[in-house]
Amino acid sequence: MATRISDAPRVGMVSLGCPKALVDSERILTRLRADGYRMSADYAGADVVVVNTCGFLDSAKEESLEAIGEAMAENGRVIVTGCMGDEAAMIRARFPDVLAVTGAHQYEQVVDAVHDAAPPSQGPFIDLIPQVLDDEGGVKLTPRHYSYLKISEGCNHSCSFCIIPQLRGKLASRRIDAVLREAEKLVAAGTRELLVISQDTSAYGVDIRHQEQSWKGRQVRAHMTDLARELGQLRTPEGTTPWVRMHYVYPYPHVDQVIPLMAEGLLTPYLDIPFQHASPGVLKAMRRPANEAKVLDRIRNWREICPDLAIRSSFVVGFPGETEDDFRYLLDWLEEAQLDRVGGFRFEPVEGATANILPGAVPEEVKEERFQRLMEATSRISTARLAAKVGRILPVIIDEVGEPDEEDGSIGATGRSQADAPEIDGQVLLRDVPADLQPGMIVDVLVEEADAHDLFGVPVSQR
C-alpha cells in the first residue's frame, strides 16, 4: 500500500518596507520552503501568516500595524517580524493574540516561531529534502529577471533623524565570496538585473577590515570597488553582461573608481546616493557630511567620464532649524547638480531619533509648501533631462508585456532604461512590440516622446 505523505503546512507572507526587508522575506521563505513548507498567496490558504514590518517612520509603523490588523482579521494566526520587532510590547498591547514577535533579520527566531505555530510535515521522505542555504538562492519575491543582492546589514552612521542602527545594528558585511557566489547563481538562474543594496554600500567591508577571500583563483577584498569590478565580470548564460545597479552609495572618495567601470559598460551607469539635503547648516544638524560643493565638482567629473550616468537621490524638507535660506540653497544646489531622479520627504519625527529634540521645528504648512516647491523644481529638471533623450536609441529591460489590441492586434509593453530602478523611478512605455517579446529581455528602443517621469518609444532591435 502506498504511503500517504501529509499535506505540507502553508505560510503566507506580507512584506513591507524597503528592498532590504524584501530580501529578509525571501530568506525566511527560502528556509521555510527547505523545511517542507508551501507558500500561500492568500490569507485563506495559509496555516500561519508572517508580517515583515517597517519601522523607519511613524507613517510606516502605522502601515505595518494596519497590515498586522488585516492579517489578524483575515487569518488570525500571525507572526510579526522586521523593524518593528523591537516594539513587541506595543504590538502585543494592540494585538494580544499575535503568535510571536521577532526583530529585524532574526531569521532563526522567525523560522522557530513558524515551526511552533504550524509544525512541518515529518517523515522519511520529507526529511530527505536538502536544506537550502541563504547564499545558494531560493524563493524570490521579485520577477525572475531582476534580483536584489544584499551585501551587508546595519549601519555605522549616527544621523540625527534615523534609527536604523537601533533597529538593525552596526554594519555587518557579508564575505565577498559569499556575495559573488550568490550573484553568480542568480544570473545563471535568469536574473538580468542585479540591484546591490545595503544601508551603506560604500562602507562595505569596513567592519571586517576589507577581508580578502579567494574567488576564481584570485584574491578579492570585501570592498565596494573590488565588488563592483567582480560583478562587472558576470555573464548571463547567453554571454551578455547583466545590468548591475548600485544603491545606497555614500559619496566617499573611492566611489570615483567605479565610474570608469560604468563608462566601460561593466556596471549600469546609475548611482543612488542619499544626499538628504545640501545646506551645510542642515547637513550638520542631520549629522551628515557637509562637503556639498565638492560633491558638485565630483558629479561634473563623473559625467565627463560617463555622460550617461544617472543619479537618483532623496531629500528631506522641513528638518528642524531649516530656514528659507537653507531651502533656497537646496533648490540652487539641485539646479547645479541636475539629478535625474529625486524623491522628496517632509520631515517626520521618529521615536528614538535625536532630531526630535532639536530646536526650530518647522510648521507643517511650511513643510508642505517647501515640499511642493521641491517637487516642482525636480519635475522641471527631470522633464528637461528626459526630453534630451528623445531621438536616441536606448537599451530597455522589459518588465511587462500587454495583450494584443482587440482592433488592430498591436501589443504594448512596459520596461525601464538604465536610468530607472524598479518601483522607484520612471518607466519606458513601448508600442508595437513583437509578439515574442518576454519580460527580462533587453531591447534597443527609439525614444519618441518624454514627459516629466517616463519615456515613450518603439523597439528597433532585440538583444
What are the pLDDT digits (tens) for 154-196? 888 878 877 777 777 889 999 999 999 999 999 999 999 999 9
Cα–Cα distance measured from residue 305 to residue 230, given in angstroms and rounded to the nearest whole number: 20
pLDDT at 271 over 90: yes
Is residue 397 pLDDT above 60, yes or no? Answer: yes
Cell numbers given for 425: 523611478
Residue with grid cell 551628515, as numbered in its chain: 288
pLDDT tens figures, 11-36: 999 988 778 778 888 888 888 887 77
pTM, two decimal places: 0.79
Task: Strands of 130-176 (E only): list them.
Answer: 146-150, 152-153, 172-173
For the ranges 28-32, 127-131, 213-217, 456-460, the lowest mean pLDDT is seen at 127-131
Q: Please check whether residue 422 is in contact with residue 451, taking contact to mean a CB–CB distance below 8 angstroms.
A: no
3-state secondary structure of 258: helix
Q: For residue 16, give the nearest of 47, 49, 61 by alpha carbon.
A: 61
Beta partners for residue 459, in sequence order: 445
In the numeric block, which cell numbers belong to residue 23?
Answer: 530580501
Q: What is the mean pLDDT of residues 121-125?
A: 47
Percentage of the chain exceeding pLDDT 70: 92
Provide CB contacts within 8 A for 112, sequence distance 6+: none
Residue 271: strand pairing partners = 246, 311
Pairing relationship of beta strands 48-53 and 10-15 according to DSSP bridges: parallel
Least confident of 109-118, 127-136, 192-201, 361-370: 127-136
Determine the average pLDDT of the residues in 310-336. Answer: 96
Residue with cell 526630535: 356
Strands (E), 28-92: 38-40, 48-53, 78-82
In 3D, which of 81, 245, 52 has the Cα closest to residue 151? 245
Query: What is the pLDDT, as a whole number, of residue 338?
Result: 97
Torsion, Cα 393 397 403 407, to 10 degrees, reads: 0
Q: Which of 50-54, 55-59, 239-243, 275-279 has the lowest mean pLDDT?
A: 55-59
3: pLDDT strictly greater than 70:
no
Inform me whether the pLDDT recorded for 224 exceeds 90.
Answer: yes
If residue 64 lies in a helix (H) or strand (E), which one and from where to where? helix 58-74
Q: How far is CA 208 from CA 200, 212, 222, 346, in A?
A: 14, 9, 8, 36
Confidence of residue 291 (pLDDT cuts 50, 70, 90): low
The reply, when asked if residue 306 is annotated as ligand binding, is no
In the chain, the amino acid numbered 145 is H
Q: Which three cell numbers stand for residue 92?
A: 502585543
Residue 279: predicted pLDDT: 93
pLDDT of residue 164: 74
Least confident interval from 57-66, 183-192, 231-240, 278-287: 57-66
264 contact partners, CB below 8 Å, separation of at least 6? 232
Residue 135 DSSP label: G
- DSSP annotation of 276 reads B
pLDDT score at 310: 97
Predicted confidence at residue 86, as pLDDT, reads 77
pLDDT, position 289: 65
pLDDT confidence of residue 34: 74
With 60 as the cut, is the pLDDT of residue 134 above it?
A: no
User: What grid cell was written down for 82?
Assistant: 522586521
As a whole-number percent, the residues of the chain with pLDDT over 90 amount to 63
| pLDDT value at 1 more than 50 | no
Mean pLDDT in residue range 227-237: 95
Average pLDDT over residues 303-319: 96
Assign residue 336 a region (left: φ > 0; alpha: ψ between -120 and 50; beta: otherwise).
alpha
Render 337-381 in DSSP notation, one character per residue: H--SEEEEEE----TT-GGGG-S-PPPHHHHHHHHHHHHHHHHHH
- In the chain, the domains with their CATH numbers are 10-128 (3.40.50.12160), 142-274 (3.30.750.210), 393-462 (2.40.50.140)
At residue 295's C-alpha, the angle toward residues 222 and 385, to 5°, is 105
